[in-house]
Structure 1
């Protein structure tokens, strides 16, 4: 089926944007997810019949093959931020990526795109980043012309970084600065990332490329915490925590991860030992014809939910001042 792309993990935070832009480009999209009943709204992102939702699990070969049947391209967005049960880094980032690539090769797909992460490195102290690099290598072993996308932390409505710390600030008098808060990040807007991934699928020139995707500005972890507090109107202590102490807190998070999403894991502490910014050695958004969206332009559009008074907080403050006058 010409111009049909299968998007694994397509109902998630990033996947929703990628599917939207692929549909705008005129492609038919098959969204492959573990639980299709939770992804029924995906069909609303395109024209009638343009987007379908199917069940697939990257640990199950036959389900991958069914999801890829008749497709000409594949986009794999499946990843986990921490290990829990069978959803381990090795199983998802390496074996899952390999399973998709092997099935795609056997079924004759012409394009495969693998989402990795900025900082992916086989020598990283972080298992998350090591397995991301191993996943890239596994895919490229099967598809030398596969496209690899390495985004920095991603921001936008529903993100897992800014919402997490904004929520933490609502209940805690302290926000931790792991390693002193000097790790640098280059946050990329989820809309830009989704559009970039769509370009990688549809553009022949992307074949074999590795793209590092970051936003227009670099921030330290401390600066990001300060910006969150400014947007939410919170006053909280920013407490520097040395890496050895943070590692102990991460071990507590490791235990918690079996039951609830942890505030931090030991592997996430290890990842914070390295900056998360583009190296300049690979193409990025500019080479895809995209201009990065600034953090300042987007954060206020959703972090208002954490302010006292919500989106009307500023208006209420102005009215109170007017009343005093």
Structure 2
């Protein structure tokens, strides 16, 4: 018997014909175990390693998506980026991960087969797909409700372990109204319905509700900095912005929260609010942004109540009519309604800090973000009379 075992060991060490003969001569009562590549971690956890996460990121080419993919790539995640339209649009993200770590696949939000192909080998799916305004092809309901439902259903069907869904702060149905649009924001109502649809299809999903998010190529700071949002040097706000409270958050903190949620299995089935550390009046924020851009009273800056400006109201309506599929400067009534809704932070719902994120102070980040819009920046600074830092905005109780 020992001889037989010895012979067997010898054959196992051989290559070629002898090894094939050995394999064919053995009968197994069970099939060979098929290993999931996602479980085969290798490396030390950095960019050039594999951390065991295969993530499909829908909406990766958007504002928040670029930050999420970049951070996933830094920790050795294999990433699938679904895209539609021009295939050159997402290709710039190839360098966010190591060689062979980022893949691209075409898809359509209404095509289940293409979606299933995108998450076939994934154990994590992140849904960042969203619209700030409606188009003729995609209404809010198509993207935030039915689209989210489709992704969650496909993830469950594919055996995905974690599903992260990006919603919005203030999402409710019916929505809280600022009194500008009858019935309130359709965006916020659709986001609330989207959460319900996702949890129905994938009860273990993690929901992230971000407030206004600022960062490179955002639609918050740049929205107020854009010339089309002004009337010459005057900035119109509903009630002068003095009755609206905001708690904006830096995009890097939102991305960090999403990554931490992916890595922590205890976040499954929970909702998190992505809000900043401080709370401000909208009027204080806009005044601060213009101080940072050196557009003060001497420049001609003034904030006033848009309710008494029919010309600006006509301007918003004409912008919606002229640029239907992409409103100039993101100026449309839906956006104006949403920007004047005070952030409703629920104290019994966890936040980014519960995900281990150290929040970035707005006063630390905004001067960098608004630097391209700084007035007369090309003149430089006089070494003898340097520009004084802008006074920070006043806060309100959280």
What TM-score does the superposition give when structure 2 sets the normalisation length? 0.75
Q: Which moved more, 1:49-58 or 1:288-297?
A: 49-58
CA shift digits 1:175-201 (9 cap, x unpaired): 111233131111111111111111122
Q: Take 1:170 and 1:248, find their aligned partners in 2: how far apart are those partners?
A: 13
Find out whether 1:239 has 2:300 as its counterpart.
Answer: no
Choose which of 327, 351, 370 in structure 2 pairs with 1:261. 327
Are the equivalent residues in 1 in contact too, given 2:123–2:160 (CA < 8 A)? yes
Task: Report 1:291-310 matches (<5 A).
Answer: 291-310=358-377
- Confirm or deny: 8 A CA contact 2:56 2:82 kept in the other structure: yes
Cα distance in 1, alignment partners of residues 349 and 190 from structure 2: 20
Work out whether 1:180 is the aligned partner of 2:245.
Answer: no
- Cross-structure match for 2:44: none
Which residues of 2 match residues 201-216 of structure 1 at below 5 A?
A: 201-216=262-277
Report which structure shows greater RCO (CA 8 Å, sep ≥6).
1
Deviations 1:47-85 (A, max 9, x none): 111122222221222221111111111000010111122
Q: Rg larger in 1 or in 2?
A: 2
Q: Give me the CA root mean square deviation.
A: 2.4
Partner of 1:159: 218
Q: For 1:255 and 1:104, how far apart are their aligned partners in 2?
A: 38
Q: Deviations over 1:17-47 (max 9, x none)?
A: 1112222333211111223311112111111
Of 128, 136, 145, the match for 2:204: 145
What is the count of residue pairs matched by the alignment?
320
SS of residue matched to 2:224? helix
> Cα distance 1:244–1:320, how it changes in 2: closer, same or farther (>3 A)?
closer
Q: Which runs of 5+ in 1 are unaligned?
A: none
Mapped to 2, the partners of 1:259 and 1:193 lie a distance apart of 27
Three-state SS of the structure 2 residue aligned to 1:14 is helix
Among 59, 84, 100, which residue is 2:151 paired with? Answer: 100
Q: Which runs of 5+ in 2 are unaligned?
A: 1-36, 39-52, 176-183, 387-398
2:123 paired with 1:72: yes
Counterparts of 1:188-199 in structure 2 under 5 Å?
188-199=249-260
Residue 91 (structure 2) pairs with residue 24 (structure 1): no
Q: Secondary structure at the match of 1:32?
A: strand
